Amino acid sequence: MRHATVYIDRQALRYNLNRVKQLAPHAKIVSMVKANAYGHGIKDCLAALETTDSFGVACLAEALEIRDEGYTQSITLIEGVFSQDEMPIVIEKNLECVVHHAQQIKWLLEYKTQYITQKLKVWIKLNSGMNRLGFKPDEIIEVIQQLQHQGFHCVLTMHFANADVPDHPMNQRQIDQLITIKTACAPIEISCCNSAAIFNWPELHFDYVRPGIMLYGASPFAEQNIHQLDLKPVMRFTAHIMALNTIKAGEHIGYGSLYTAKTDMTVAIVSIGYGDGYPRAFIAQNFVALGQQLFPIVGRVSMDMLAIDVTDRDIAIDTEIELWGHTRLVDEVASANGTIGYELLCRLSNRPIRKVIS
């Protein structure tokens, strides 16, 4: 059997959710479970998140997965609806919508009676400089007043473009804009903190925080690892050694023959590749873990296999290797590959077997 396994540790997920509660004791928690719970498997994660106040998802299909599992907490569609035909389902399934565009207001108002009867909230998105979604500061006050006047319960929301870089000058500009709008629309509920912002600015937790990556035990910061943040990794990604080869100095390894052995060496072939979601590039400083030790990857990663240098080590076929998890953190693999932990977690394929540790 090919051993390529993703272990999901629900205790770690519970621990990280409790970390959010510790850091933001007065805010409600919207646990971000979009993109299949950042690649962890939404169904496997929900049970460990049952004490969250709410869930955040990117689209209706993701919200319906949660409702189909029987969870009744509120769910926010953080990009709102994409078309008018989603509105009746939003109402039927008791979902909350972000409103970031005039078109969405039109759709909302057409369903106003039913929506308000159920006393649901709408989250009005401020574009404070990220220029992705939202109303500009000079238009949002009117939007909020209009919706409040129509009887909606409005939450003012925004997203930081640089929360992972606490002293980035854009942060203060975004905060200033939020506070100006908050003051103009008072009293109004507010939500602006993702994981990095939860750590950076306790004074900005307001009514709802929206943790994502920290729940899964990866770091939102390049300069601080999860041990420094007191988070636990939820995912452990492993594979086994399927072959051991000796190669002579001067011989090459893998596609493109990019790696040339400087001396005679022993190479272990591990049953994992980019078809499973491990990054393909051949990077000089890329490692996997065996126990507490790190072993360098040699040559380009293939679709189903990669090679590691195990010269002078007493290692047998079928030994388990950790791609990321406890010894080798996903953030370290990401950084070696010029990306972020978020991307590696989200782009895992469904080929590895999934096992839940409760």
User: CB 47: neighbour CB atoms within 10 A?
Assistant: 14
Q: Supply the minimum distance, in Å, between the C-beta of residue 189 and ligand PLP.
A: 15
255 is catalytic: yes
* Residue 173 zone, left/alpha/beta (φ > 0; ψ -120 to 50; rest): alpha
Ramachandran class of 266: left when φ > 0, alpha when ψ lies in -120 to 50, beta otherwise: beta
- Give the whole-angstrom CA distance, residue 126 versus residue 259: 50
Which residues are known binding-site members? Answer: 132, 303
Interface with ligand PLP (CB under 6 A), residue from 171, 194, 219, 286: 194
Active site residue 342: no
DSSP H or E stretch at residue 267: strand 265-270
Cβ neighbourhood burial of 270 (10 Å; 0-12, 13-18, 19+): buried
Interface residue with ligand PLP among 14, 19, 100, 210 (CB under 6 A) is 210
How far the first Cα of the chain sits from its last, in Å, is 24
Catalytic residue among 106, 136, 255, 355: 255
- Owner of token pair 């988070």: 231
Of the residues 34, 38, 125, 274, only one is catalytic, namely: 34
Distance in Å, CB of 1 to ligand PLP, minimum: 34
Of 200, 214, 107, 133, nearest to 162 by C-alpha is 200
Indicate which single residue of 52, 76, 174, 195 sits in contact with ligand PLP (rule: CB under 6 A): 195
Q: Does 78 bind ligand PLP (CB under 6 A)?
A: yes
Regarding 220 and contact with ligand PLP (CB under 6 A), the answer is: yes
Q: Is 213 in the site for ligand PLP (CB under 6 A)?
A: yes
- Minimum CB–partner distance for residue 66 and ligand PLP (Å): 16
Q: In this chain, which stretch among 145-153, 190-198, 222-230, 234-242 interacts with ligand PLP, using CB under 6 A?
A: 190-198
Q: Which of 167-175, 194-202, 261-269, 327-335 is the region at the interface with ligand PLP (rule: CB under 6 A)?
A: 194-202
205 binds ligand PLP (CB under 6 A): no
Using CB under 6 A, pick the residue from 12, 13, 23, 32 that binds ligand PLP.
32
Look up residue 179 and give its two tokens: 């506070």
User: What's phi and psi for 115, nearest 5 deg?
Assistant: -65, -45
Closest distance of CB 128 from ligand PLP, Å: 12
Site for ligand PLP in 37-76 (CB under 6 A): none
Residues 123-182 that bind ligand PLP (CB under 6 A): 159
Based on CB atoms, which residue is closest to ligand PLP, 90 or 213? Answer: 213
Place of tokens 């791609």: 323
The answer to whether 200 contacts ligand PLP (rule: CB under 6 A) is no
Which residue, 126 or 323, is less far from ligand PLP as judged by CB?
Answer: 126
What is the secondary structure of 204-217 as a DSSP string?
G--SEE---GGGGT
What is the b/e burial string over 122-135, where b = at least 16 CB atoms within 10 angstroms of the residue's CB? bbbbbbbbbeebbb
By CB under 6 A, name the one of 41, 212, 299, 352 that touches ligand PLP: 212
| Min dist. Cβ of residue 288 to ligand PLP (A) | 25
Residues in the interface with ligand PLP (CB under 6 A) total: 12
For the chain, counts of helices (H) and of strands (E): 13, 18
Residue type, 302: S
Q: Which residues are catalytic?
A: 34, 255
Using CB under 6 A as the criterion, which residues of the chain lie in contact with ligand PLP when the complex forms?
32, 78, 159, 194-196, 210-214, 220
